[in-house]
Amino acid sequence: MNDRTGRIDVGILGATGTVGQQFVRLLAAHPWFRASWLAASERSEGKRYSEAATWRLGGQAPADAAGAVVQACQPGRGPRLVFSALDASAAADVEPAFAKAGHVVVSNARSFRMQPDVPLLIPEINPEHLALITRQRRERGWAGAIVTNPNCATVVAAMVLGPLRTFGIRSVIVTTMQAVSGAGYPGVPSLDIVSNVIPRISGEEEKIESETQKILGSMTDGAVTPHAMVVSAHTNRVPVIDGHTETLSIGFDERPSPSAIRKALEEFRGRPQTLSLPSAPPQPIVCLDADDRPQPRLDVDLDHGMGVTVGRIRNCPVLHTKLVALGHNTIRGAAGAAVLNAELLASERIIEFD
């Protein structure tokens, strides 16, 4: 069902949490989508959103959302297109139930990312992977579908590596400095993170290593063949509010110069830019000249948090190239990524929502 402006009605599963609130904020003035159905756990069901959700973002909750009554996460209710901000434990059961009931679930959860018939999508990098939906529906018998976006740290690395595939990527070492907002709320205790670095984030290294190979992989006979590169990840939690900073060292089949790397990154455009999708940054990767950039405090909000910034592109004495990259973890790495995925679905009419 569409509203009188022609916008598509959408729902949000897990609307009261941190990522759910980002969905509410991003969709409040979206030109294509209208968040008409907000759903959460039993303890929130039946309450007004303003009562059920303690608003953790800047400003106030959008007025339309604040007055909405929170619904139960019940398949068959709500719009056909739903965004999932559920944690993985809930998503594992709830998302397939919604897909079976005919909903198209655009998910931020990790539960189905590595399933062979589920797209793990970055629209600029692997839009062709949406062909997996046909297989998904055939093999699972779903009237709906599940489409996922990657882990918040994977997005930054994959956005940088995607344009560099032309040089033949062989190996990558990535070290992350990840913001505390990536841990959700209440997240990391202050006495653990203030003036400190925590050199482990459970499960994060494995996600970066495997998800990046799937995203950069190729479609062959209705399946994704993972990219053959080897990825080694080190993950760290640092006392930054928003923005995951990553250092990458990359080995190639060729030996591209730093200027060739920069040219490939700056000239890169993907399907969202060709289609002028509402959430797509006009230039998805921006390279900075200053030798002390990017920095989260200065650069994380590039293009409303949807752009990735890169700096310090230089030769690596161990591999071939090293650089620094930064992306907004709760926007480009979470809610904003899912909204862009849905825009691609709607624009390409892979799934009809009318």
Residue numbers annotated as active site: 152, 244
Q: Return the DSSP state at 292.
A: T
β-bridge partners, 268: none
- Neighbouring residues of 24: CB distance < 8 A, sequence distance ≥ 6: 12, 15, 35, 38, 49, 61, 62, 65
Strand partners, 327: 244
* DSSP H or E segment with residue 281: none
Name the region of 137 (left: φ>0; alpha: ψ -120 to 50; beta: rest). Answer: alpha
Contact between residue 36 and residue 11 where contact means Cβ atoms under 8 Å apart: yes
Q: What CA dihedral angle connects 40, 46, 47 and 48, to 10 degrees? A: 90
**For 300, what's the count of Cα atoms within 13 Å in the CB-facing half-sphere?**
18
User: How far apart are the C-alpha atoms of 49 and 47, rounded to whole Å?
Assistant: 6
Distance CA 256, CA 253 (A): 9
DSSP class per residue in 53-107: ----SSS---HHHHTSBPEE--TTSS-SEEEE---HHHHHHHHHHHHHTT-EEEE
Hey, is 50 helix, strand or coil? Answer: helix
